Amino acid sequence: MGLYLRPTDLAEALAALAESPMTVLAGGTDFYPARVGRALDDDILDITALASLSGIADAGDHFRIGATTRWSDIIAAELPNWFDGLKLAAREVGGVQIQNAGTIAGNLCNASPAADGVPPLLALDAAVELASRGGKRVLPLASFITGNHRTARAPQELLTAVLVPKPRCKARAGFAKLGARKYLVISIVVAAAVLEVAEGRIAAARIAVGACSPVAQRLRDLEGTLRGRRCAPGLGRTVEAVHLAGLAPIDDIRGTAVYRSDAARTLIARLLDDLAGAAA
Amino acid sequence: MRLALTVNGRVRMAETAPARRLADVLREELGLTGTKIGCNAGDCGACTVLLDGAQICACLVSAAQADGRSVVTVEGLAETGALGALQSAFLRHGAAQCGICTPGMLMAASDLLAREPHPGEKAVLDALSGVLCRCTGYRKIVAAVLDVADADGAPAPAVGTAVGARVPKIDGAAKLTGSERFAADAAPADALFLRAVRSPYARARFTLGSFAALHARYPGLARVLTAADIPGSNRFGIYPTGKDQPALAEGEVRFRGEAVLALVGDAATVEAIADEALPVAWEELPPVTGIAAALAPGAPALHAEKPDNLLVTGRLVRGDVEAAIAGAAAVVQGAYRTTFVEHAYIEPEAGYARRIGDRIEIFACTQTPYMDRDELALILGIRPDQVRILPSAVGGGFGGKLDLSLQPLIAVAAWLLRRPVRCVYTRPESMASTTKRHPASIRARIAADAEGRLLAVDFHADFNTGAYASWGPTVASRVPVHASGPYIVPNVRAIARAIYTNETPAGAFRGFGVPQTAVATETLLDELAEKLGIDALELRLNNALRPGLATATGQVLGASVGLVPCLKALKPRWRSARAEAARLNRGDGVVRHGVGFAAMWYGIGNTSISNPSTMRIGLDREGALTLYSGAVDIGQGANTILMQICADALGAPLAGLRLVAGDTDRTADAGKSSASRQTFISGAAVTRAAADLRRQILALAGLGEPAEIRFGGNPVTVRQGGDLRWVDLAALPASNETGDVLAGSGTFDPPTTPLDEDGQGAPYASYAFAAQLAEVAVDLGLGTVKVRRVTAAHDVGRAINPTQVEGQIHGGVAQGLGMALMEEYVPARTENLHDYLIPTIGDVPEIECLLVEAADPLGPYGAKGIGEPALVPTAPAILNAIYHATGVRLRQLPATPDRVRTALLAAGKGECHG
Ligand SMILES: Cc1cc2nc3c(=O)[nH]c(=O)nc-3n(C[C@H](O)[C@H](O)[C@H](O)COP(=O)(O)OP(=O)(O)OC[C@H]3O[C@@H](n4cnc5c(N)ncnc54)[C@H](O)[C@@H]3O)c2cc1C
Ligand code: FES
Ligand code: FES
């Protein structure tokens, strides 16, 4: 049996992490499934009693989502409509039990290629705040997740918050997930989009796809193509195969690589059509 | 740590490791075993409890996180003793079958109802979406949650009207309060734990080193079992000639997940010892994967006595297939592939064994206590009467708990150590080591004349039986009989082979190869109908078996042939659904609608093999009646059905009847709970036992039938016309074992004949018939298929309990839907319930059941079977519906989104990206 710390004070938690490497435990929804039939012998730092890590706050030019904010907190929170993509994602993470336990930081730190939280946060241009005894740093989410289940987090760091900048124009956001059953399904493809719209035209587009490469990716070419276009029905037709060329999907039990690319294109096209049809 | 939490309103303390799962704390420390563990990974939701009022998986919460908080478990829902409104609704609707998912369902529903007292269906689906159920098909659960407010259920049926009534499950209350004892819910306090060590390789040789160092390092390790420790025969298997599976491998493993060692000791020790730390030297060998590899020239032989890897061939030949095909107006043909399918019962295997003198007692989940008893006697090298099997409540079986799993290991350990030994499989262990549905590779041709009369069926199926025989021979014998479907076909050639590979043993799974067979033949019939320009339902109607006609085995059917009424019952929906699909497809939308249809027949009981059941009914001094039933209720409802039959056959009130079930010391052999046989065979045995008991009472009264016997106390009164007599039970001598003063006994063995070398004979005494209609919507862009509605017409002979019949149909349809669209077991890849997908509450559509009752004169009150028939037509009906929607035929299951989309693109039908 390993150590088990459950501090209420962040400094205490960071001090413990600085002393020796420990496994961080939040909602446990990735932690426990990885230990089925195995002894629970990790040294554990349980961060769920750190009050300063939970909750969503409007911090002026950005929103701050505490690390241990649960998916059900995100669903229940009153947030501007450009968070709709993240909210839709929250509703699709597991079932209600998982949403009541799983945290946003856990989803990012676990860094599954199919994590549903990542594409909407990439589309929101989110950054993560990492804290250690030595201080804080902020990294764009895109550079935080470095590979399949790999992140830029140093062993003595905690992810303390997700920072979401406010869009400059009116924005709308969407999310789409493809799985082989209705609920409780690991995504075959997952996509999210945020469109900032000014005077009927797209001022900025951010589109991200997950489960089609080791790390979810923004589709910068497509975003460039969309910029300046009228935000009107038919927008989905803009999406072409070349826009997805940077993805590197794999063949696995959930689908072939070819299918993934094809389905990603369809999901994004539909997402754009939906957003173009929606009121800003 | 010292943990304090409020459980169901009371503060409870426990000493526990802080990282321990809350589910384990509740079950092991606080004795609250109503919370179930199906996976320990958040996937099944069986462990759902309320934590500070919100539903969570207790397997994902640490003890430390629960400290100081409030937990509500299923035990907290009926603390006053009476069922709460939600529980009553579950009972009334038949929403609990095996009951293993029920605590989780109840807690998820409680969470919803506390926030939203009158939810709509969508809210119910969302709230319950994290709990999997493998038995019910979810529809009755949804109905129960939507109907909580409704008044109490129907009153108990009057004497003589139990059969046909929607009687709530007699063991239902225990399943709703968490008091039911499933296999992992009970064990002696001093039991040691056993953990099997399993092969990571599909094929390998291994040698074992010394365990001395291990024992020195782990004082808590009581014993390491190896093949050398098996006292009797280290070979088991279903058939006397098919005993080829070792309880512990002997120097060679034949599939990934095969047990090579068992560690026995205290729980912490056996968990802490890592497999890598064991003195096992592996030599990995190239495995034989798939049927083609097993049959390839020079393929390594799995078993020396079967050098060509061919376990067995089943064969049926009637008429001249080639000549008939040559002269036919239309011929269709196709090749089909299906995969391993996992039973995915929510309860992993568990149990304990204890030695009492020179006897061994085994409490475990099983579908077949008497076969277990005889096999374990062989393994221990003792007599069968030295073995006592105490079946636990079974948290789903579907055929997967017909084979031995952990019983040999715990039995040998308890026998040698003279200490109780328990074992609980993990979900990955259960999935890797227990049987699966046989993957099939099928080629078939069907021919008809210009009028659509079937002329010939030519059918060849190879079944991947995995590393050991298990039920492979059953599949090979059952499939040829069923290959030509429920139709008159003058010329049939049907071959079914079971082939060994280095894969998970394939065994019994709801239908024994017939669902795979129907995928091929029922989709081909659709093609034939199209080719001939005949309506698909009319084609079946024109060729349907009817009373007095001969099957392909030459058996002339009796009265109970309900296919035509099933087909006629579906006709109105068939028409309206197709019209609706045409209307919905009028635009050029990306979602296309389709309607498909398939029929089936299914022989009840074993194929041409004696499979008797014996039932006993006792009457004690006080006049209390007890049914002693060796038939295991695996959730299908045998306990309730047999009690209903018993009540009416005696003429006694159902409410006063007691039940003793399963215990091999106290009941007679009722055979297996498989092959849809318990209602038909054990039910008929109950009617005979009742007749026997009545005879004895009438003899004591000096009267004969017909007479009215009034049970309910002592004395028993007997009335015939104006003649009223009393039988004083207190004056009769009581049996030492049961305390009963009278006991009626009845045996029924369905009359069958052996099949000759051409497969001719009368393999079954009774057949069930059915047809189902599936309505689907296919997304052309993504290849996803949504089943929107299923209409199922089933000839069950007599619906002893319509609620339970519907429950079986719903559950069968859900499993058929899973097989059609998502289920694919791949060893090492899908050994858990997030990579292996079964339908969730959102995947099973509305299911309308149309019950046809073509009474079988042999069956109890005319009843036949429903367990397996419910699943057989679903997958082909869905495939036919996909074709109707898109014009694309899928011949490989499951029809996952990528396969459907690929097929659409190949057919030039999916060029849209929107
Ligand atoms: C049944 C089921 C269904 C699921 N379905 C989905 C789904 O549909 N989509 C999806 O994306 N995910 C899904 N998940 C995965 C999981 O629920 C999410 O990833 C969740 O957000 C993880 O959060 P957690 O708090 O439970 O993480 P934990 O399990 O507590 O931790 C996850 C990992 O992150 C680390 N970690 C956590 N917090 C921090 C922190 N603040 N700083 C540093 N490291 C940290 C932990 O050490 C661990 O390695 C599912 C899981 C289950 C069991
Ligand atoms: S046991 Fe907790 S979800 Fe399966
Ligand atoms: S009743 Fe739901 S799993 Fe058996």
Q: What is the ipTM of this complex?
A: 0.97
In CATH terms, the superfamily for domain B192-286+360-395+401-433 is Aldehyde oxidase/xanthine dehydrogenase, a/b hammerhead (3.90.1170.50)
Taking the C-alpha atoms of residue B391 and residue B361, their distance in angstroms, rounded to an integer, is: 10
Taking the C-alpha atoms of residue A238 and residue A261, their distance in angstroms, rounded to an integer, is: 16
Digit-coded pLDDT (tens) for B452-483: 999 999 999 999 999 999 999 999 999 999 99
Radius of gyration of chain B (CA): 27
Please provide residue B680's backbone torsions phi and psi, each rounded to the nearest 5 degrees.
-70, -55
Chain A positions in Cβ-Cβ contact with residue B822 (cut-off 8 Å): 180-181
Residue A133: CB atoms within 10 A of its CB come to: 14
* CB contact set of B122 (below 8 Å; sequence gap of 6+): none
B99 C-beta closer than 6 A to ligand 3 = yes
Residue ranges in B226-355 assigned as alpha helix (H): 267-272, 291-295, 321-326
Q: How far is CA B914 from CA A6, B189, B590, B781, in A?
A: 49, 61, 8, 7
Output the pLDDT for position B242: 87
Torsion of CA A119, A124, A129, A130, to 10 degrees: 20
Region A250-279: mean pLDDT is 93
CATH of the domain at A42: 3.30.465.10
Average pLDDT of every residue of chain A: 96
Q: Which amino acid is at B567?
A: L
Output the pLDDT for position A1: 72
3-state helix/strand/coil string of chain A: CCCEECCCCHHHHHHHHHHCCCEEECCCCCCCHHHCCCCCCCCEEECCCCHHHCCEEECCCEEEEECCCEHHHHHHCCCCHHHHHHHHHHHHCCCHHHHHHCEHHHHHHHCCCCCCCHHHHHHCCCEEEEEECCEEEEEEHHHHEEECCEECCCCCCEEEEEEEECCCCEEEEEEEEECCCCCCCCCCEEEEEEEEEECCEEEEEEEEEECCCCCCEECHHHHHHHCCCECCCCHHHHCCHHHHCCCCCCCECCECHHHHHHHHHHHHHHHHHHHHHCCC
Pocket test for ligand 1, best of A6, A17, A23, A30 (most atoms within 8 A of CB): A30
Distance linking the first and last C-alpha atoms of chain B: 56
In the reported structure, the alpha carbon of residue B102 is separated from the centroid of ligand 3 by a whole-number distance in angstroms of 7
Q: Considering only alpha carbons, which residue of chain B is nearest residue A34?
A: B41
Inter-chain CB proximity A183 and B129 less than 8 Å? yes
Q: Kindly indicate the confidence band of residue B154, based on its pLDDT and cuts at 50, 70 and 90.
A: low
Residue ranges in B715-824 assigned as alpha helix (H): 802-821
Strand order in the sheet with B716-720: B708-710, B716-720, B723-727
A17 is written with which tokens? 């992490």
DSSP letter at B862? G
Q: Examine residue A174 and state whether it is found in any structural domain, yes or no.
A: yes
Inter-chain CB proximity B64 and A46 less than 8 Å? yes
Tally helices (H) and strands (E) across chain B: 23, 31
Atom of ligand 3 nearest to the CA of B97: 1
> Is residue A62 domain-shared with residue A23, that is, in the same domain?
yes
A55 C-beta closer than 6 A to ligand 1 = no
Output the pLDDT for position A185: 95
Pocket test for ligand 1, best of A110, A118, A122, A163 (most atoms within 8 A of CB): A110
Sign of the alpha-carbon dihedral angle for B296, B302, B305, B306: negative
Smallest CA–CA distance, residue B273 to chain A, in Å, is 9
A279 is written with which tokens? 């009121």
Digit-coded pLDDT (tens) for A130-180: 999 999 999 999 999 999 999 999 999 999 999 999 999 999 999 999 999
B440-606+757-906 sits in which CATH class? alpha beta
Region B11-39: mean pLDDT is 97
As to burial, measured by CB atoms within 10 angstroms (0-12 exposed, 13-18 middle, 19+ buried), residue B207 is exposed
Q: Which of A150, A165, A180 is the last residue of a domain?
A: A165
Q: Which of A165, A196, A218 is the last residue of a domain?
A: A165
Inter-chain CB proximity B60 and A265 less than 8 Å? no
Output the pLDDT for position B517: 98
Angle at B843 between CA B841 and CA B848, to 5 degrees: 90
Q: For residues B447 and B328, is the Cβ–Cβ distance under 8 A?
A: yes
pLDDT at B150 over 70: no
Secondary structure (3-state) at B42 = coil
Taking the C-alpha atoms of residue B171 and residue B629, their distance in angstroms, rounded to an integer, is: 14
> Is residue A14 domain-shared with residue A94, that is, in the same domain?
yes
Taking the C-alpha atoms of residue B543 and residue B449, their distance in angstroms, rounded to an integer, is: 12
Region A55-76: mean pLDDT is 98
Q: Examine residue A200 and state whether it is found in any structural domain, yes or no.
A: yes
Torsion of CA A43, A46, A52, A53, to 10 degrees: 100
Protein residue whose Cα sits closest to atom 3 of ligand 2? B42
Q: Which of A165, A189, A224 is the last residue of a domain?
A: A165
Taking the C-alpha atoms of residue B480 and residue B229, their distance in angstroms, rounded to an integer, is: 41
Q: Examine residue A197 and state whether it is found in any structural domain, yes or no.
A: yes
pLDDT at B155 over 80: no
Output the pLDDT for position B82: 81
CATH of the domain at A178: 3.30.390.50
Strand order in the sheet with B454-466: B310-318, B491-500, B454-466, B440-448, B330-337
Q: Which amino acid is at A68?
A: T
Domain boundaries, chain B: 1-158, 192-286+360-395+401-433, 440-606+757-906, 613-748
pLDDT at B153 over 90: no
Residue ranges in B720-849 assigned as alpha helix (H): 802-821
Residue B757: CB atoms within 10 A of its CB come to: 8
Average pLDDT of every residue of chain B: 96
Give chain A's domain count.
2
> Is residue A159 domain-shared with residue A74, that is, in the same domain?
yes
> Is residue A133 domain-shared with residue A200, that is, in the same domain?
no
For A265, which of B111, B125, B913 is closest by C-beta distance? B913
Digit-coded pLDDT (tens) for B612-652: 999 999 999 999 999 999 999 999 999 999 999 999 999 99
Pocket test for ligand 1, best of B37, B40, B43 (most atoms within 8 A of CB): B43
Size of interface A-B (CB pairs under 8 A): 184
Chain A positions in Cβ-Cβ contact with residue B905 (cut-off 8 Å): 262
B346 C-beta closer than 6 A to ligand 3 = yes
Region B385-405: mean pLDDT is 97
Q: For residues B290 and B309, is the Cβ–Cβ distance under 8 A?
A: no
Q: Which residues line ligand 2 (CB under 6 A)?
A: B 37-40, 42-47, 57, 59
Q: Examine residue A36 and state whether it is found in any structural domain, yes or no.
A: yes
For A182, which of B51, B56, B843 is closest by C-beta distance? B843
Inter-chain CB proximity A33 and B41 less than 8 Å? yes
Chain A positions in Cβ-Cβ contact with residue B132 (cut-off 8 Å): 184
> Is residue A106 domain-shared with residue A35, that is, in the same domain?
yes
Q: Which amino acid is at B706?
A: P
Q: Examine residue A52 and state whether it is found in any structural domain, yes or no.
A: no
Q: Examine residue A21 and state whether it is found in any structural domain, yes or no.
A: yes
Digit-coded pLDDT (tens) for B703-755: 998 999 999 899 999 999 889 999 999 999 999 889 999 999 999 999 999 99
Taking the C-alpha atoms of residue B225 and residue B208, their distance in angstroms, rounded to an integer, is: 11
Q: How far is CA B240 from CA B244, B246, B473, B507, B894, in A?
A: 10, 14, 11, 15, 34
Q: For residues B436 and B257, is the Cβ–Cβ distance under 8 A?
A: no
B62 C-beta closer than 6 A to ligand 1 = no
As to burial, measured by CB atoms within 10 angstroms (0-12 exposed, 13-18 middle, 19+ buried), residue B889 is middle
B510 C-beta closer than 6 A to ligand 3 = no
In the reported structure, the alpha carbon of residue B131 is separated from the centroid of ligand 2 by a whole-number distance in angstroms of 9
> Is residue A238 domain-shared with residue A204, that is, in the same domain?
yes
> Is residue A21 domain-shared with residue A150, that is, in the same domain?
yes
A81 is written with which tokens? 């409509």
| Fold of the domain built from segment(s) B613-748 | Aldehyde Oxidoreductase; domain 4 (3.30.365)
A61 is written with which tokens? 């030019």
What's this model's pTM, rounded to 2 decimal places?
0.98
H/E element holding B497? Answer: strand B491-500
Taking the C-alpha atoms of residue B815 and residue A210, their distance in angstroms, rounded to an integer, is: 30
Q: Examine residue A42 and state whether it is found in any structural domain, yes or no.
A: yes
> Is residue A117 domain-shared with residue A187, that is, in the same domain?
no
Q: For residues A98 and B130, is the Cβ–Cβ distance under 8 A?
A: yes
For B839, which of A41, A44, A181 is closest by C-beta distance? A181
Taking the C-alpha atoms of residue B764 and residue B603, their distance in angstroms, rounded to an integer, is: 5
Inter-chain CB proximity B42 and A97 less than 8 Å? yes
> Is residue A146 domain-shared with residue A217, that is, in the same domain?
no
Digit-coded pLDDT (tens) for B308-365: 999 999 999 999 999 999 999 999 999 999 999 999 999 999 999 999 999 999 999 9
Q: How far is CA A83 from CA A60, A98, A122, B189, in A?
A: 16, 20, 12, 53
Output the pLDDT for position A280: 46
B546 is written with which tokens? 């009817």
B369 is written with which tokens? 């206590």
Digit-coded pLDDT (tens) for B277-305: 999 999 999 999 999 999 999 999 999 99
Q: Residue A76's domain spans which residues?
A: 4-47+57-165
Q: For residues A179 and A173, is the Cβ–Cβ distance under 8 A?
A: no
| Fold of the domain built from segment(s) B1-158 | Ubiquitin-like (UB roll) (3.10.20)
Chain A positions in Cβ-Cβ contact with residue B18 (cut-off 8 Å): 4, 6, 44, 46
Q: How far is CA B369 from CA B250, B402, B564, B645, B685, in A?
A: 27, 9, 38, 22, 18
> Is residue A140 domain-shared with residue A256, that is, in the same domain?
no
Smallest CA–CA distance, residue B58 to chain A, in Å, is 9
The DSSP annotation for B546-615 comes to -TT-B-TTSPBP-S---HHHHHHHHHHHHHHHHHHHHHHTSS--SEEEEEEEEEEEEE-SSSSS---EEE
In the reported structure, the alpha carbon of residue B132 is separated from the centroid of ligand 3 by a whole-number distance in angstroms of 8
A23 C-beta closer than 6 A to ligand 1 = yes
Region B155-178: mean pLDDT is 94
Q: Considering only alpha carbons, which residue of chain B is nearest residue A235?
A: B914
Output the pLDDT for position B152: 62
Q: Which amino acid is at B145?
A: V
A26 C-beta closer than 6 A to ligand 1 = yes
Same topology, domains B440-606+757-906 and B613-748? Answer is: yes
pLDDT at B913 over 80: no
| CA nearest to B370, candidates B382, B388, B386 | B388
For residue A80, cis peptide bond before it (omega within 30 degrees of 0): no
Q: Considering only alpha carbons, which residue of chain A is nearest residue B104?
A: A97
pLDDT at A279 over 70: no
Q: Examine residue A142 and state whether it is found in any structural domain, yes or no.
A: yes
For B41, which of A36, A41, A256 is closest by C-beta distance? A36
Chain B positions in Cβ-Cβ contact with residue A37 (cut-off 8 Å): 40, 271, 426, 428-429
> Is residue A147 domain-shared with residue A175, that is, in the same domain?
no
Output the pLDDT for position B914: 56
Taking the C-alpha atoms of residue B673 and residue B202, their distance in angstroms, rounded to an integer, is: 31
| CA nearest to B91, candidates B173, B156, B24 | B173
Q: How far is CA B302 from CA A119, B254, B287, B435, B615, in A?
A: 48, 7, 10, 17, 41
As to burial, measured by CB atoms within 10 angstroms (0-12 exposed, 13-18 middle, 19+ buried), residue B216 is exposed
> Is residue A191 domain-shared with residue A226, that is, in the same domain?
yes
